[in-house]
C-alpha cells in the first residue's frame, strides 16, 4: 500500500553523531558466501531492509538454516534447488549475485522479482555466465525470469564486460569459484570491489593490473562476518549536513570501500568540509568514520570513474546541487536508467517538483543551483533512494515536502525517517 510521509526540515544548523544500519552490499555478499560454505558462519549487524531479507529468505529456500546471526549450510554441493521460482523482491543484487552462485550449483533455478525488478536489464549476466558454461535464459526483452541451469561445476573463462558493474563482476566471480581452472574478469573502473577484496583475503583470488581480477577455484570457508555501516545510507545524512552552512554530522564505522565514497569527493568539490579516518577493515575492505560539515556550496561536474563511484548517490548530488550556486553537470551515468527506477527521469522530476531547475541528458543530468528548494510532492516511483533523497531535500526547503510512496525506504533503511528527524532535531 502506498504511504505518504510529510517532512519539514529545520532550516538551521544541527550537529549529531549517528550510526547507520549495516551495509546492504556487504550483507548480501556475506549471506551468499556463507551459504556457499560448508558449516556455520555468523553475520553480525547485517542490513535490516527488505532487500537483504530477500537474500536471507532465498538461501533458506536452498537448504541453509538461518537462526538470528547464525547460518548453517550444507555447502553449495548440498543446496536443494526448488522447482518453484525464487522471488528476489525488489533486489537486483540478490538476483544477479545468486544467478552467479547458482551457475556453479547442480540444478535449474528460476529467479523472479517484483514489478520493478522484472523490468530491469539482465542480459548483462548472459555472456559472463555462459562463458563459464552455465545455461542462462531470460524473457525476450532481456529481463527476468532468469533461468540458470548449472551442473555443479563451471569452465574457467576470461571475460571483459562493458560496464563498471559490481553485481556482474561478483556474479561471475561466484560462478568462477566452481571452475576447472583460474578465470579473470575485466571491466571499466569505478565499481565497488567488495567481493574481490573478500575473495582475495580468503585466498580465492588476486587483483591483477588495472581492473582485472583473477579468481582461483576453491571452497569458500565458513566465516564470522561483522558488517560495517552502509555509506549509501550515511550519504543521506552527509547530504543533509552539507546543505546547511554550519551543520555537522559524524557517522562512525561505515564501509570506506573506494567504490562507495565517490559522493564525498563530490561534496568536497562543492565546498563541504569532509573528514575521514580509517579505523579498521573487514577482510581487507576498509571501514572508518566520516564527518561532513556544511558550507556555502558551488556547482561541480561529475563524470567518468567518479560518476560510477557515486552512482547510487547521484539523486543526492541533484538535491545538494540545488542548494549550491551555479550549474552541476553529471554525465557518464547512463547506468542510472537501469536502477530501481529510471533514476535520471525520477531525479530530474524530484528536483523540478520542488521548484528546482534540473534537466535530463542521455547519460546524466544538469542542475541549475538556485541556493534553495520549495516544498512540494515527490513521487518515489517505487525507488527507496528517490524517497530518501526527496526527504533530505526538505532540510533547507522553504516548505514541507510530501514523499508519496514513502514505504519504499524499507528496502534499505526501514527506520530512515526516525534517523533523519534525530539529525534535524540535534543541537
Ligand atoms: C551493487 C552494485 C551497484 C549498485 C547497487 C548495489 C552491489 O550496481 O548500484 O545498488 O551490491 O554490487 P551495479 O553492479 O549494477 O553497478
Among the atoms of ligand 1, which is closest to the Cα of residue 167?
14
Model pLDDT, residue 98: 98
CATH 3.65.10.10 corresponds to the domain 24-226 = yes
Q: Other CB atoms closer than 10 Å to residue 13's CB: what's the count?
A: 15
How high is the pLDDT of residue 237? 99
**Residues 415, 416, 417, 421, CA torsion sign:** positive
HSE (side-chain half, CA atoms, 13 Å) at 331: 5
User: Looking at residue 227, what is its pLDDT?
Assistant: 98
Query: What is residue 160's predicted lDDT score, i.e. its pLDDT?
Result: 98
Catalytic residue status for 312: yes
> How many residues make up the chain in this entry?
427
- Residue 376 is predicted with a pLDDT of 98
- Residues touching ligand 1 (Cβ under 6 Å) are 25, 93, 165-167, 170, 192, 311-312, 335
* pLDDT per 10-residue tile (average), the chain, 427 residues: 95 98 98 99 98 98 98 98 98 98 98 97 98 98 98 98 97 98 97 98 97 98 98 99 98 98 98 98 98 98 97 99 98 98 98 98 98 98 98 98 98 98 97
> Which pLDDT score is estimated for 48?
93
DSSP 3-state of 100: helix
Percentages of the chain per state (helix, strand, coil), in multiples of 5: 35, 25, 35
Top mutation candidate among 167, 258, 260 for ligand 1, by most atoms within 8 Å of CB: 167
Class of domain 4-22+228-425 as given by CATH: alpha beta
Instruction: Check if 4-22+228-425 and 24-226 are the same fold.
Output: yes
How high is the pLDDT of residue 41? 99
> How far, in Å, is the centroid of ligand 1 from the Cα of 142?
18
Tell me which residue of 225, 235, 150, 152 sits closest to 194, measured CA to CA: 225
Annotated active-site residue in 87, 230, 312, 332: 312
Looking from the CA of residue 28, the nearest atom of ligand 1 is 11
The structural domains of the chain, with segments of one domain joined by +, span 4-22+228-425, 24-226
Cell 530501481 sits at which residue? 340
| List of long-range contacts for 339-344, beta carbons under 8 Å, 24+ apart | 339/92, 339/120, 339/312, 339/383, 339/385, 340/90, 340/92, 340/116, 340/120, 340/382, 340/383, 340/384, 340/385, 340/411, 341/116, 341/381, 341/382, 341/383, 341/386, 343/314, 343/315, 343/383, 343/385, 343/386
Instruction: Please tell me the predicted confidence (pLDDT) of residue 1.
Output: 78
Amino acid at each position: 500500500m502506498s504511504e505518504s510521509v510529510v517532512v519539514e526540515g529545520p532550516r538551521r544548523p544541527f550537529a549529531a553523531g549517528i550510526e547507520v544500519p549495516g551495509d546492504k552490499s556487504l550483507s548480501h555478499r556475506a549471506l551468499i558466501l556463507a551459504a556457499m560454505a560448508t558449516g556455520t558462519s555468523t553475520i553480525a549487524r547485517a542490513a535490516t531492509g527488505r532487500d537483504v531479507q530477500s537474500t536471507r529468505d532465498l538461501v533458506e529456500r536452498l537448504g541453509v538454516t538461518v537462526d538470528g546471526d547464525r547460518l548453517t549450510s550444507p555447502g553449495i554441493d548440498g543446496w536443494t534447488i526448488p522447482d518453484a521460482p525464487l522471488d528476489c523482491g525488489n533486489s537486483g543484487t540478490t538476483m544477479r549475485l545468486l544467478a552467479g552462485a547458482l551457475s556453479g550449483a547442480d540444478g535449474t533455478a528460476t529467479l523472479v522479482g517484483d514489478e520493478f525488478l522484472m523490468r530491469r536489464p539482465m542480459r548483462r549476466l548472459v555472456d559472463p555466465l555462459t562463458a563459464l558454461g552455465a545455461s542462462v535464459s531470460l524473457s525476450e526483452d532481456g529481463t527476468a525470469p532468469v533461468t540458470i541451469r548449472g551442473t555443479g561445476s563451471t569452465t574457467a573463462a576470461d571475460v571483459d564486460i562493458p560496464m563498471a558493474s559490481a553485481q556482474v563482476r561478483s556474479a561471475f566471480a561466484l560462478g568462477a569459484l566452481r571452475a576447472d581452472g583460474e578465470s579473470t574478469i575485466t571491466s571499466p573502473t569505478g565499481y565497488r570491489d567488495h567481493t574481490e577484496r573478500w575473495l582475495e583475503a580468503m585466498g580465492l583470488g588476486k587483483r591483477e593490473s588495472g581492473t582485472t581480477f583473477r579468481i582461483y577455484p576453491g571452497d569458500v570457508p565458513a566465516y564470522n562476518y561483522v558488517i560495517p555501516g552502509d555509506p549509501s545510507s550515511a550519504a543521506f545524512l552527509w547530504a543533509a549536513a552539507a546543505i546547511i552552512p554550519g551543520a555537522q554530522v559524524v557517522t562512525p564505522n561505515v564501509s570506506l570501500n573506494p567504490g562507495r565514497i565517490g559522493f564525498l569527493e563530490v561534496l568536497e568539490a562543492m565546498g563541504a568540509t569532509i573528514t575521514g579516518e580509517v579505523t579498521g577493515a573487514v577482510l581487507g575492505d576498509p571501514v572508518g568514520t566520516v564527518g561532513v560539515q556544511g558550507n556555502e556550496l558551488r556547482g561541480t561536474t561529475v563524470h567518468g570513474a567518479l560518476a560510477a563511484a557515486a552512482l547510487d548517490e547521484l539523486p543526492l548530488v541533484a538535491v545538494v546541487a540545488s542548494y549550491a550556486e551555479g550549474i552541476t553537470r553529471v554525465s557518464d551515468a547512463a547506468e542510472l536508467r537501469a536502477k530501481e527506477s529510471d533514476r535520471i527521469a525520477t531525479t530530474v522530476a524530484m528536483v523540478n517538483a520542488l521548484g528546482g531547475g534540473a534537466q535530463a541528458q542521455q547519460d546524466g543530468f544538469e542542475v541549475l543551483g538556485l541556493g534553495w528548494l520549495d516544498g512540494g510532492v515527490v513521487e518515489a516511483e517505487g525507488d527507496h533512494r528517490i524517497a530518501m533523497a526527496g526527504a533530505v531535500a526538505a532540510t533547507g526547503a522553504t516548505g514541507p515536502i510530501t514523499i508519496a510512496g514513502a514505504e519504499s525506504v524499507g528496502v534499505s533503511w526501514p527506520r530512515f525517517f526516525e534517523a533523519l528527524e534525530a539529525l534535524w532535531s540535534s543541537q
